[in-house]
Amino acid sequence: MSPEPRRVSEVSPKESLGSLSGCLVDGDAEQRTRERRVKRRALAISIFLQSAVLAALILVPLFGKGSVSLSPSSLRLCRTDIQAATSAMK
């Protein structure tokens, strides 16, 4: 009177757990959907913050005060400073 034997591959995991099937950690579909949404949001925030930091690392030195101007008047000023320094050394 035993049920017809089935192969192991035919038995679903939930059927093989019997009374323990209610103790699964996976949760329900709503919980998995909520977890996916939280993970997507965290990934989006992470990508945004990393992009902002990278942009700041690239743009801040470009607009900083220490940038060298290559205008003709500044080059002339540098040349006169170098000549004055070399003549002072002699």
Q: What is the pLDDT, as a whole number, of residue 51?
A: 98
Yes or no: say if 14 and 21 are a contact pair by the CB < 8 Å rule: yes
Yes or no: say if 9 and 3 are a contact pair by the CB < 8 Å rule: no
Query: CA torsion 80→82→86→87, rounded to 10°?
Result: 10
Q: What is the pLDDT, as a whole number, of residue 84?
A: 77
DSSP reduced 3-state for 55? helix
The one-digit pLDDT tens for each residue of the chain (90 residues) are: 556 665 655 656 556 666 665 566 667 889 999 999 999 999 999 999 999 999 999 998 888 876 555 666 655 656 677 777 777 776
Instruction: Give the predicted TM-score (pTM) of the model.
Output: 0.44
In sequence order, the 6+-apart residues with CB closer than 8 A to the CB of 83 are: none
Domain ranges for the chain, please list them.
Answer: 20-62
